Amino acid sequence: MRNTTPHTARARLWANFRSEWLSINTLMGYAFVLPLLLWLAATILYPLLVSIQISVQNIKFIGTPGEYVGLDNYQRVLSSPYFHAALKNSAIWVVANALVQTVLAFAAALILKQQFVGNRIARIWIILSWVVPTVVVVIIWRWLLSASGGIVNYSLQALGIIDKPMGFFSTGNTAFISVILINSWRWFPFNAVILLAALQRIPAELYEAAAVDGANVVQKFRFITLPSLQPVLFVMGLIGTLLSFNVFDVIWLLTGGGPSRATTTLPVLIYDTAFKKYRLSQAAAMSVLTGIILLVFAALFIRFLSPASEDSDER
């Protein structure tokens, strides 16, 4: 065994540090990443810090001064029944959208994977609802569902399902279901395209081998398709949930959070508090709390639902 003096140990440490952290490759890597880090700091970190700063003041209107009030806004928000109701609505919104969109996306992807005449056109056609601007989607659906002249009410009456026109946005439940379905209609093609790409990467040999072993359709789906799609489903689940949670435009434009707050999710409540109630600091406190909720969700999702990586499989 060689004798190591403190001096040589320090020298070795320094050499290691230099080779790992100050090598050309490492520095080049940081140089490439730096602009993105600066951009993220300017567009996410700075607004976040400003939000936290505003949330501990009593600012009402944007651009007006406020005084430091500590955690008063957080206390008020956490004890507000409107915040609790909006949080509950957001949870229902996310789960319902995830379910509806996943089922529709899976169905669409499986159909589009089949070879049939017009397959290529169908693949392009299906993304139309996703390409159309939100405001157009909203106008289309408002008129389709209108009780005075809307085609949906007309068709339901003609088929004898209802005897007089119904207001899809008239009661809390029907409004919430309508908004969820419209949002899902808008977003499921995006998920379908991602799933289709993933489905096409599953080797056909796996299905052939399974067929030789006597596996039926359900078993093929359960033991080949689903595990193969797990990484894609994980990413879709994480990003989709975060995106879905933050949806504001469709809800605001369709119902404005009503009727009687039935479709008020957290983003709608935050907007309403900041720009209708003119309680900017309370809205900032809600934003910070929402950010924390989403951060915790993302951490738990990654911790418990992350598919085993290839590295860990090898180990």
Partner 1 sequence: MKRMLSTLVIVLVVALMVLPQVPATAQQKVQITLWHMEQPPHRVERIQTLIDEFNAANPDIEVKQEPQNWGEIYTKAPAAVAAGNAPELLFAIPDFTPILKDLGTVLPVEDFVAELDAAHKFYPAAVAQYTYEGHTWAVPLYNMAHSLWYRKSVFEAAGVEVPTTWDEWLAVTEKLTTGEQYGIGLPANKNLYTDQTVYDLMINAGADEIYNPDGSLRFNNPQTVEAYDMYSKLYKFSPPDSPNWAWGEAEACFANRSCASILQFTVITTYDTQAEGDPADLGVAPIPYKEGVENPGTIAYVNAVMILTDDPAKVEAAKKFISFILEPENYGRFLNMEPGLFLPVTEDGAVAESFWNDPLVVKYKEQVEIMVKNSTGGRLFGFTGGNTFPSIAAISAQNLLAQTLQMIVIDGMSPADAVAEGQRLMEEAIED
Residues that bind partner 1 (CB under 8 A): 61-64, 142, 145-150, 164-172, 175, 254-260, 275-278
Identify whether 47 is preceded by a cis peptide bond (ω within 30 of 0): no
Q: How far apart are the first and last CA of the chain?
A: 31
Q: How far is the CB of 72 from partner 1 (least distance, A)?
A: 13
Q: How far is the CB of 73 from partner 1 (least distance, A)?
A: 14
* Torsion angle of C-alpha atoms 183, 189, 192, 196, degrees rounded to 10: -170
Nearer to partner 1, 237 or 258 (CB): 258
Nearer to partner 1, 194 or 286 (CB): 286
Do 93 and 242 form a contact (C-beta atoms < 8 A)?
A: no
Measure the CA–CA gap between 187 and 263, rounded to whole angstroms: 18
Nearer to partner 1, 222 or 276 (CB): 276
Q: How far is the CB of 266 from partner 1 (least distance, A)?
A: 18
Q: How far is the CB of 297 from partner 1 (least distance, A)?
A: 30
57 three-state secondary structure:
strand
261 three-state secondary structure:
coil
Q: How far is the CB of 57 from partner 1 (least distance, A)?
A: 14
Nearer to partner 1, 179 or 198 (CB): 179
Do 151 and 144 form a contact (C-beta atoms < 8 A)?
A: yes
Nearer to partner 1, 166 or 206 (CB): 166
Distances from the Cα of 297 to the Cαs of 18, 41, 237, 293, in angstroms? 38, 22, 11, 6
